[in-house]
Amino acid sequence: MKRSQWICILTDVHLWVPAAVLILGTALLMTLR
């Protein structure tokens, strides 16, 4: 993929919302073990 497409991906709110939820969910899972 071109650099410009990576920039589009990294600045897409559709990426950051699920990424943030994934980080929070993983943190929750780590506290449960």
Partner 1 sequence: MSDQTGIAPARSTLSLHKLGVFCGLAAAVWLGSAEAPTKLVTEGFSPFVISIGMVMGAFVARWTVPTLLKGTGFLFNDLREKPHLIVWALLAGMLWAVGNTLTIFAVRNVGLSIAFPLWNTNSLVGLMWGCLLFKELRGSRPRDWMKVMGGALAIVSGATVLAIATTQQSGGAPGRAAVGIIAALGAGAMFGTMYIPYRKAYISGMNPLSFVTIFTFGELGAILTLGLIFFGGVSPLAGEIARARTMLFWPFVGGFCWVIGDLFQQYAAKYIGIGRGIPLSNTNQLWGLAWGALVFGEFTGLTGGSRLLIIAGSSIMIAGAVSISMAEPPPGEMENWHAAMHRECDRYGLDTSSVSAVVAGDDPLADHKHPRRWWEVLIMCLAAAVFVWLAAGTRAQHIYVNVPWMIVLIVSTIVPLALCGTLLWRRTRFS
How big, in percent rounded to 5, are the helix, strand and coil portions of the chain? 85, 0, 15
Residue 3 binds to partner 1 (criterion: CB under 8 A)? no
Give yes or no for a contact between 5 and 11, defined as CB atoms under 8 angstroms apart: no
Residue 18 binds to partner 1 (criterion: CB under 8 A)? yes
Q: Measured from the CB of residue 11, what is the shortest distance to partner 1 in angstroms?
A: 9
Residue 5 binds to partner 1 (criterion: CB under 8 A)? yes
d(CA 5, CA 31): 36
- Interface residues with partner 1 (CB under 8 A) are 1, 5, 8-9, 12-15, 17-19, 21-22, 24-26, 28-30, 32-33
